[in-house]
A and B are shown apart, each in its own frame.
Chain A
Amino acid sequence: MAAKTRRYSARDMAVLVIGLGVAIVVNVGVIWGPALASIGLSGTDWSGIGPIEWVGGQNYHDLAAEYPPFWSAVRNNVLWLGFLALVATPFGLFCAVLLDRRLRMSRFYQSALYMPVVLSLAVVGFIAQLVYSSDYGVLNSVTGLSVDWLGDSSINIWVVMVAAAWRHVGYVMVIYLAGLKAVDPALKEAAAIDGASERQAFFRVVFPTLRPVNVIVLVITVIEALRAFDIVYAINRGRNGLELLSVLVTENIVGEASRIGFGSAIAVILLAISVGFIATYLSQMFREER
């Protein structure tokens, strides 16, 4: 078979062209095209009207050196990722493990934890305002504090991340719960018979079998952290301590501001960060398959 050259019939060719061609056109048209256009525009000073003027790396210099919201946005995106990955996700796993033990009323807990997931993050943003507002918020009136949770730029990112995590925990919990149900009980039994403690059984036996689920959860967490936008936009349009890269892109490009070149430069930075994660993830996957 190996020596024989494969021949394609006209029909095969047609199928190939349609099957592959459409995918390539769509891929280039909606993914690579705009991405490359953004990179190109990021080197210009285009306002959306009038001529496009090449300014080289000027936009990058301006945003790194003279645009204060940029660094707080980078910091916030990193914080967001760290918080979801190190606090919210493990907590979701913890909840899943507890619920998997068939506690009394576990259905109730399960629903309660999952409820926020059906809300859009923008709605979570509105709920967060009802809770955190310094004048009429639930938190201040219950505790008697008078903290400006959303207005103080040194704390608002933390309370907003708690609100975002509220939703993320439920999401992660459900995925892990499904994974845990699929773990063969015989494995746990075998571990118990071999004298493993609960903790050992979980970390040495159950958790490693959850590997495929872990990968999915990791990807979801990274995506959630990089695309975060709606919750801060709903709260204060992503300003004053709640800057995120996605918000800065929108603020500069979509708004009346029309600093398309400058906004594209921020978008390119966001792209570079995303590509970093995606490349690491993919290379990891391919290495293991080999």
Chain B
Amino acid sequence: MDQRLPISRRHLLLGAAATFGVPAVLAGCGSDSPAPGPGGNLGTVTIGSNASDEIPKRTLETVVKGFTQATTRINTVDHNTFQENINRYLRGTPEDVFTWFAGYRMQFFAEQGLAVDISDVWQEIGADYTQAFKDQSTGVDGKQYFVPFSYYPWAVFYRKSLWEENGYEVPATLDELTALARRMQGDDIIPIAFADKDGWPAMGTFDILNMRLNGYDFHISLMQGKQSWTDPKVRQVFDTWRGLMEFHQPAALGRTWQEAAQSLAQKQTGMYVLGMFVAQQFPEADRDDLDFFTFPEINPAYGTDSIDAPIDGYMISAKARNVEGAKALLKHFAQASSQNVATELDPGTLAASSKADTSGYSALQKRGAELVSQATHIAQFLDRDTRPDFASTVMIPSLQSFVSEPDEIESLLASIEQQKANIFR
């Protein structure tokens, strides 16, 4: 359930695939594209990739081309299909290296013994990453299983020109945010763009409110099923959110994030809590006008120390035939020079390595990198920080029901808690 990209067409494909029972043959239905390379002494390394969109696909091919120690073969599978079938894929005949996400999503599979421990790789590449990145690559057993490649932060986006025209200032606290929102309403601007037709964008708002109010540790422990959803702290998150609802764009459940982003681009809305990919919806000429700030402080105990910044990267499957070659490839992915190739081709992402050269970044990328470097804790986004079944079958319907009926908090939280108990048993 990780749709950060415009994929309504994929949903259709997925629906069709599901109807015909196609997903079972995932491993066989990708397209093989041998990447040309001189071929080194480490044989052949295969890569299972979910980079099916044009830009990420070309990025991966370019990066892999620079790898000379072994011959490589990339098997690209539709992004969502890859994700939906990851269980079957890893137990079947997976490629040596595969694309995946950091955090709980990675730990879940590492715990099942489906990934190879790469702590030795980390001894070499460790110095290139901050502690936050290392934590997100570490399994519950304290070993590393993942190499971060790129990421993007979530923040509150706005158009500089609109704010300058009206003299709006970046809010530093919740009260300032509320005051600003009221002013915007007075100026006939919908303060906060909002869309949750796809089910996941509202998770971003929940995450940031929970981290601002209760801190990163509580948030992660809640995500891991260790805290109760009926806890007054969780209630407070929804209460705060309900207080902000009047400033949100109405009819959010019928709107996609792309449409909400359009409304921001057209200056109908004042700000939007979303990932950096919001820039995709802005015409080239307007991109320089796009800026962001981190969600304002609510609880002084936590300030603005945490943000959502989902990390994408690579892992080695437990069934890999060429582990040595795969480890060499992961080291190649960890190199700043490889990641720089990627950030140049794909302006919606940032390089995970702290050694990466940021001089080629766009203004927005630079600000993004700065924001992340200031954060003490980096969360991965709700559907990556918790069990996938909990995120998709419980949280999506529950958050949508909150959006349509913000007053029914008590019964909603009781229902989430009951369903959580059925899943985390």
Contacts and interface: CB of A to CB of B under 8 A. Distances in A.
Interface string A141-170: 000001011111100100000000000000
Nearest to A133: B254
B87 A256 contact: yes
Interface stretch (A196-204, A206-214, A226-234): A226-234
Interface string B122-150: 00000000000000000000000000000
A100 interface: no
Interface residues of A, number: 43
Given A134-B254, A251-B393, A240 B15 contact: no
A256 B8 CA distance: 18
Nearest to A227: B19
Given A66-B422, A68-B397, A136-B259, A258 B389 contact: yes
Contact of A237 (B11, B112, B404, B419): B11
A120 to B, nearest CB: 9
A257 B15 contact: no
A148 B16 contact: no
B255 A48 contact: no
Contacts of B259: 133, 135-136
Given A68-B397, A122-B12, A233-B15, A256 B422 contact: no
A66 B1 contact: no
Contact of B91 (A49, A136, A233, A252): A49
Nearest to B21: A254
Contact of A66 (B86, B114, B392, B415): B415
Interface stretch (B174-182, B205-213, B245-253): B245-253
B422 A237 contact: no
A276 interface: no
B388 interface: yes
Nearest to B105: A256
Interface in B55-106: 83-84, 86-88, 91
A250 interface: yes
Interface string A122-146: 1000100000111110000000001
Given A48-B87, A257-B389, A151 B15 contact: no
B18 interface: yes
A188 interface: no
Contacts of A256: 1, 83-84, 86-87, 388-389, 392
A255 B253 contact: no
Contacts of B263: 135
Interface size, B (range): 35 or more
B419 A148 contact: no
Contacts of A240: 197, 199, 253, 397, 400-401, 404
B115 interface: no
A149 B251 CA distance: 9
Contacts of B422: 62, 66, 262
Contacts of A250: 15, 18
Interface string A47-59: 1111000000000
B84 A255 contact: yes
Given A135-B255, A256-B87, A230 B112 contact: no
A110 interface: no
B23 interface: yes
Q: Which of A149, A151, A229, A262 has the most CB of B within 10 A?
A: A151
Nearest to B263: A135
Contacts of A237: 11, 198-199
Contact of A69 (B250, B254, B397): B397
A134 B263 CA distance: 13
B255 A134 contact: yes
A135 B253 CA distance: 12
Contacts of B400: 239-240
Contact of B254 (A67, A150, A230, A262): A150
A281 B257 CA distance: 46
B301 interface: no
A257 B388 contact: yes
B83 A234 contact: no
B423 interface: yes
A66 B417 CA distance: 10
B87 A230 contact: no
A143 to B, nearest CB: 15
B254 A251 contact: no
A50 B91 CA distance: 11
Given A152-B253, A259-B389, A259-B393, A234 B87 contact: no
B418 interface: yes
14 contacts: A47-B87, A49-B112, A66-B422, A69-B397, A122-B16, A133-B255, A148-B253, A151-B255, A151-B404, A233-B15, A240-B199, A254-B18, A256-B84, A258-B389
Interface of A: 45, 47-50, 62, 66-69, 122, 126, 132-136, 146, 148-153, 156, 229-230, 233-234, 236-237, 239-240, 250-252, 254-259, 262
Task: Please name the 7 residue pairs, one residue from A and one from B, whose CB atoms are nearest each other, closest first.
Answer: A151-B254, A148-B251, A151-B253, A257-B389, A233-B15, A256-B388, A150-B254
